Amino acid sequence: MRLSLFVLLIGIALTGLAEARSLSDIEAVRTTISAWAKAWESRNIDNYMSFYSPAFKSGELDFQGWREKKTTLFQSSGPVSLKITDLWVFVEEGGAEVRFIQHYGSRYRSDVGEKTMFLARSNGTWNIFWEEWKPLINLALPIKETVNAAGSRRSVHEIGKIDEDLPGKVKDLPAQKLTVRRIEFQVEKERENVFIELNRFTIPAFFTLEGERPRIVIDIRNVASWKGRYKVPIHGQHIKQIRSYLHRDSKKLRIVLDLTTGKDYMISQRYDMTGNIYTVSVTEAKKDLSSVKHSNSE
């Protein structure tokens, strides 16, 4: 009896020790992720890459390819901010799976996505062996209105354009001055696009706002002139209306896409260098995002 009791007590003690180690590992991984985020914000490539294993893979990129990609981004992005929410860590047999919502912002772009990582312990340090980023703009709200599906219809709605009858004021502006030539809205199947045509290359600032009035905000700085209407109802499946206003003092053109409530959205951006056309596309997010691949901030 005493031997059995002793064995039982040893078993309980070992179980408790394993749980303690697991909790300690989880805290260590959380600390590692926090330090990794700060290294990203610092844009110190050596410090940032010290969190990655030489065997790291992400898509088709290995450790060196990832370093080269991030070096280019760090040199061109300017100051960045990185916020991590909903951090989830699962540790088992020396490996850790990590998931969190990543909020990224720079002077050129803002995005929100779900990051998944796999870390392994080596010489007492947790290193990143694999990671994946998926865009995830969560604007789910109680349904307050019903919008009919757009189906397969395709339409283009002109929001505004420069006044071609104003020579010497708008269309003959010096090359260094920025003008927005036109804004167009297009519906194509389940996707709604907003095209912003510029007279020269520039990257607008982009962010989203949640709450009772979900919306996408696009800021274009140093705009010399804009003649578009302030508010244009769209009545799309995802975009209800488009608002635009040029702040004369700061020369910032703010374009707001008011979204339909009660949905999760996938929002993507692209820039056509040949025509200087910046595009924001809005589609309804599906529950399974595994097939969607983007490469914004990662």
Domain boundaries, the chain: 2-135, 154-284
- Among 118, 96, 107, 124, residue whose Cα is nearest residue 43: 107
Residue 186 CA to residue 237 CA, distance in Å, equals: 11
Residue 89 CA to residue 28 CA, distance in Å, equals: 10
Q: Alpha helix (H) ranges present in 50-198?
A: 63-77
Q: How is domain 154-284 classified at the architecture level of CATH?
A: Sandwich (2.60)
Q: How many CB atoms lie within 10 A of CB 185?
A: 20
Residue 132 CA to residue 292 CA, distance in Å, equals: 11
pLDDT digits (tens, 9 = 90+) for 240-273: 999 999 988 888 999 999 998 888 888 888 888 7
pLDDT digits (tens, 9 = 90+) for 165-190: 333 333 333 445 888 988 999 988 88
For 225, the token pair is 């002139």
Instruction: Tell me the pTM.
Output: 0.46
Contact 205, 80 (CB under 8 A): no
DSSP 75: H
- Among 136, 34, 37, residue whose Cα is nearest residue 80: 37
Let me know if domain 2-135 sits in CATH 3.10.450.50.
Answer: yes
Residue 196 CA to residue 108 CA, distance in Å, equals: 16
Cβ burial of 117 (10 Å; 0-12, 13-18, 19+) is buried
Cβ burial of 73 (10 Å; 0-12, 13-18, 19+) is middle
Measured over the CA atoms of residue 290, residue 293, residue 297 and residue 298, the dihedral's sign is positive
Contact 68, 89 (CB under 8 A): no
Q: Is 43 helix (H, G, I), strand (E, B) or coil?
A: coil
Q: pLDDT at position 116, please?
A: 92
pLDDT over 60 at 154, yes or no: no
Contact 33, 98 (CB under 8 A): yes
Q: Report residue 297's pLDDT band, with 50, 70 and 90 as the boundaries.
A: low
DSSP H or E segment with residue 215:
strand 215-220
Q: Report residue 68's pLDDT band, with 50, 70 and 90 as the boundaries.
A: very high
Q: Report residue 23's pLDDT band, with 50, 70 and 90 as the boundaries.
A: low
For 27, the token pair is 């805290």
Of residues 5 and 129, more confidence is placed in 129
Q: Find the mean pLDDT for residues 81-105.
A: 87
DSSP H or E segment with residue 284:
strand 277-284
